[in-house]
Structure 1
Amino acid sequence: MAKETLQAPVKVLFVCLGNICRSPTADGVFQKKVKDAGLADQIIIDSAGTGGWHIGNPADPRASQHAAKRGYDMSQLRARKVADSDFEAFDYVLAMDADNLHDLQALCPDAYQDRVQLMLDYLPEDFPKPMTEVPDPYYGGEDGFELVLDLIEAASDNLLADIQQRLT
């Protein structure tokens, strides 16, 4: 079944637990990919957390440092919690893992359930390390932040292609 067409601006919300590691990384990566594609005026990007522990805080310094090494700027991002109004406002609400997906689905009105999905639904089938979730790097080492970037970069390409196909 074909997806419905979308009017610009298309709005994309990336969601993880605290909005300091994975979702701001996705926000920063996707901002650059959208800008590089010349679509910054047609796609609005934001990120949020299902938990409110870090509201107003910048991204985790480790996430920012790893992202910066690849040319992504997350310095302006500040953590916020998902709001009820986000489900109507955003065309895509992309969870980083199954737990956050379930939390979002529980909060989301029935009319907008089709907007809520996993970020890695967009991961290419030929990705060297097939995964369904972006793992939380918070308590891990440096490799965790690099894996998050690898996964998000790959999925972002397919997400952008999906949006471009749906834009009218």
Structure 2
Amino acid sequence: MRKYLSDAGLASRVVVDSAGTHDYHVGCPPDPRAQAAARKRGYDLSSLRARQITQADFQQFDLLIGMDFNNLEVLQRLCPPAQKGKLGLLMAYAQRHNATVVHDPYYRGGKDFELVLSYIEDGCMGLMQSLVAHGALSG
């Protein structure tokens, strides 16, 4: 998402962050297979570290996007009622792939990391276009 925003000259308008719904791997870098797939496409994930979602995230961010139904369920459970409209799924914004969710490739092979990255790119591009189309990034 950061790359798309940067390429569109919108990076200064949006704060992008990532957080897990569980405390697995907090403080750790992304899976080496994810880093390898990303590196092939020109993304450097080496400085990223996992963190778990916090209550402050529901106040700080305008959108909280889950990758799958399990993530969305946890977000819904943790989310204050007044913030529920901020929740969604990334693939709702996808334009090229007809998938409902981004499945976790952790217990799968390298090709699954490539597919997941394609889904994420599609969803992120669609999300950015949706934000622009709805005036969320206008001056």
Q: Would you identify which runs of 4 or more consecutive aligned residues in structure 1 move more than 4 Å?
A: none
Amino acid at match of 1:167: L
In structure 2, the partner of 1:141 is: 109
In structure 1, the partner of 2:88 is: 117
Aligned pair 1:159/2:130, yes or no? Answer: no
Residue 142 of structure 1: CA displacement?
1.2
Amino acid at match of 1:158: G
Measure the CA separation in 2 of the matches of 1:156 and 1:147: 14
Q: Size of the alignment, in residue pairs? A: 136
SS at 1:137's partner residue? coil
Consecutive unaligned residues of structure 1, counting only runs of 5 or more, are 1-29
TM-score calculated relative to the size of structure 1:
0.78
Q: Which residues of 2 match residues 73-84 of structure 1 at below 5 A?
A: 73-84=44-55
Residue 167 of structure 1: CA displacement?
2.3
Consecutive unaligned residues of structure 2, counting only runs of 5 or more, are none
In structure 2, the partner of 1:46 is: 17
Structure of greater relative contact order (alpha carbons < 8 Å, 6+ residues apart): 1
Greater strand proportion? 1
Q: Which residues of 2 match residues 1-168 of structure 1 at below 5 A?
A: 30-124=1-95, 127=96, 129-165=97-133, 166-168=136-138
TM-score calculated relative to the size of structure 2:
0.94
Measure the CA separation in 2 of the matches of 1:72 and 1:38: 18
Measure the CA separation in 2 of the matches of 1:99 and 1:52: 14
Residue 75 of structure 1: CA displacement?
1.2
Greater helix proportion? 2
Measure the CA separation in 2 of the matches of 1:33 and 1:75: 18
Measure the CA separation in 2 of the matches of 1:53 and 1:103: 14
Superposed CA deviations along residues 19-49 of structure 1, whole A, max 9, x for unmatched, are xxxxxxxxxxx11111111111111110000
Measure the CA separation in 2 of the matches of 1:116 and 1:32: 22
Superposed CA deviations along residues 69-127 of structure 1, whole A, max 9, x for unmatched, are 00111111100000011011111100000011011001001111011100111011xx2
- Alpha-carbon RMSD: 1.0
Identical pairs, percent: 45
